[in-house]
Structure 1
Amino acid sequence: MTFKPARLLLALIAVSAAPAFAQNLAVVNGKPIPTSRVEEAVKQMVAAGQGQDSPQLRLAIKNEMIAREVLMQEAVKQGYDKKPEVKQALDNARQAIVVNQLAKDYITKNPVGDAEIKAEYDRFVKQTGDKEYHVRHILLENEADAKAVIAKLKGGAKFEELAKQSKDTGTANNGGDLDWAVPAAFPPEFAAGFTGLQKGGVTENPVKTANGFHVIKLDDTRAAKLPTLDELKPQIADSLVQKKLEAYKEQMVKKAKVQ
């Protein structure tokens, strides 16, 4: 198995601050490298699916850690750690590590519960609706053109033929077909234009959106095929975690004295 140095480097950076054990991986010019760093790097790479715990992986990590320590010592000898841009980068990295640990501990103490996830899923279902709509549209430059199209439709013209003049070039040659979708997939004003239509119906008046004026036809409706709670649970949980962290950040910033 071949191990990519870039993946090893990411793992090693992640464990650069790991606590030291009594036993050392190696001692480089008198500077010990604790074995704990290998254990943490192996755990990180296996968890990320970047390798399997094996003697080969451990040897590759050991060799990379030794090489990095040698290069670090040489960089310090040449004064790179004193350079302003390096100090700034180290400060930024230190800040990121400390803040990330704060966030991790905050979520551990304030976890997202199943009830919160269920409530968020229920809101999603309510917002999305229990129906899917198969709609077509013709997008025109102005209201007058849209009204002219509606008049032609009332006179017996075929919607699919008139759709060829639509500004929406992606659907113009497909009869204006927007396929099956839930109302939430469209701008609110567009969705409001077709949710009240009967099967086969066309909007009586043009529907205005940021894109122009639409003439909309409803082909059919059916029960919506929404993802289940179990399918969306990881995504919802992650979203709620981010919301908790954002609220915590805003709360802390409000308490701070910023001049």
Structure 2
Amino acid sequence: MKKQFLKVAATAALLGALSVAAQAQNIAIVNGQPVPKSRMDALAEQLKAAGRPVTPEMEPALKEEIVMREVFMQAAREKGLDKTDLYKSQVDLMRQAILIRQLFEDYTKTHPITDAQIQAEYDKFAAANSGKEYKVRHILVENEDQAKKIIADLKKGGKFEDIAKKQSKDPGSAANGGDLDWASPASFVPEFSEAMTKLDKGQMTQTPVKSQFGWHIIRVDDVRQAKLPSLAELKPQISQQLQQQQLQKFQEDLRAKAKVE
């Protein structure tokens, strides 16, 4: 009798322990339906991936969000909305999106960009952007006659900045007196760069310069050796760019290998 009592008590204790463990895996019971904690964890991970910090103080709000979703899901099921073709097609699309995202995340994780790749890309950047930088102003007009008249006015003592504000058609620089700030020759169209690099500090083009944008009057305010950002400064940007290029090639390779009939 005593053994049987102990056996029953042990079984009850075990069931109680299992019940507590099950409750620990759920954040709530909604209309008799357990709501697993894993849903709240997944929502928190979504927020983190979107760049939103998740703090312990947010737990009640996250729990309430998951509970409300369960309430709405149950109401939708009662109406049979989970049996509709629209619902099934939307679920299929979501399943595809999640699986594809995991594929790309796995590829990125297993194919990290190396320091050697970053160094090589930085070296190319440095080679393309080394040399001189020019602090330049320009006045852009629609035709050659206008440009010639402006040059004549400037030679008579007209102020470059004032004329640029009044007559230049370049929306990006006119308000600043034609100021294009510091830039390398590669930043401009070839015709502009060729004319600019022939000028010394303080000089202005004596004849209008034609480009695809119109007619330019160019003045060089200063010249200096290019100051390139360091590898450490550009490393995150270069790494991201290389990762995107690598991922794009991975996608293109998969598409190229696929047999599509």
Deviates more, 1:211-220 or 1:226-235: 226-235
1:8 — aligned with what? none
CA contact 1:42–1:57 (8 Å) conserved in 2: no
Query: Hey, what's the Cα distance between the residues in 1 that align with 2:116 and 2:212?
Result: 38
Aligned to 1:180: 182
The separation in 2 between residues aligned to 1:79 and 1:188, in whole angstroms, is 66
For 1:98-117, list aligned pairs within 5 A.
98-117=99-118
Q: Residues 70 and 154 of structure 1: is their aligned pair in 2 closer, same or farther, counting only changes over 3 Å?
A: closer
5+ long unaligned stretches in structure 2: 1-22
What count of residue pairs does the alignment treat as equivalent?
237
Task: State the Cα distance separating 1:223 from its structure 2 match.
Answer: 3.4
Q: Given the superposition, is the C-alpha separation of residues 175 and 106 from structure 1 closer, same or farther in structure 2, using an over 3 Å criterion? A: closer
SS at match of 1:112: coil
Normalised TM-score (structure 2): 0.75
What stretches of structure 1 move > 6 A for 4+ residues in a row? none
Matches within 5 A, 1:147-186: 147-150=148-151, 152=152, 157-158=157-158, 160=160, 162-163=163-164, 164-168=166-170, 171-172=173-174, 175-186=177-188
- Asked if the contact 2:173/2:179 (under 8 Å) is kept, the reply is yes
Answer 1 or 2: which has greater helix percent.
Answer: 2
How far off is 1:40 after superposition? 4.3
Structure 1 equivalent of residue 224 of structure 2? 222
| Correspondence for 2:86 | 85
Distance 1:159-1:183 versus aligned 2 partners, 3 A rule:
farther
Read off the aligned partner of 1:51 and give its amino acid letter.
V
- Match of 1:58? 59
Counterpart contact for 1:134–1:220, Cα < 8 Å: yes
Q: Matched residues in 1 for 2:181 and 2:105: separation?
A: 43
Contact 1:135 1:216 (8 Å CA) reproduced = yes
Give me the whole-angstrom Cα distance separating, in 1, the residues matched to 2:252 and 2:219.
45
Shift of 1:225: 3.8
216-225 vs 246-255, which moves further: 216-225
- Verify the 8 A CA contact 1:23 1:34 in the aligned structure 2: yes
Q: Structure 2: how far apart are the matches of 1:42 and 1:245?
A: 26
Q: Is 1:26 aligned with 2:28?
A: yes
- Counterpart CA distance in 1 for 2:244 and 2:206 is 44
Q: Residue 72 of structure 1 aligns to which amino acid in structure 2?
A: M
- What SS does the aligned partner of 1:258 have? coil
Structure having the higher Rg:
2
> Once the 2 structures are TM-superposed, how far is the Cα of residue 97 of structure 1 from its aligned partner?
0.8
How far is the alpha carbon of 1:112 from its aligned partner? 1.1
Find the aligned partners of 2:60 and 2:215 in 1 and give their Cα distance.
66
Unaligned segments of structure 1, at least 5 residues: 1-20
The question of whether the paired residues in 2 share the 8 Å contact of 1:138 and 1:216 is answered with yes
Q: Is the contact made by 1:159 and 1:175 (CA closer than 8 Å) also made in structure 2?
A: no
237, 253, 256: which one aligns with 1:254 = 256
State the identity as a percent.
Answer: 48
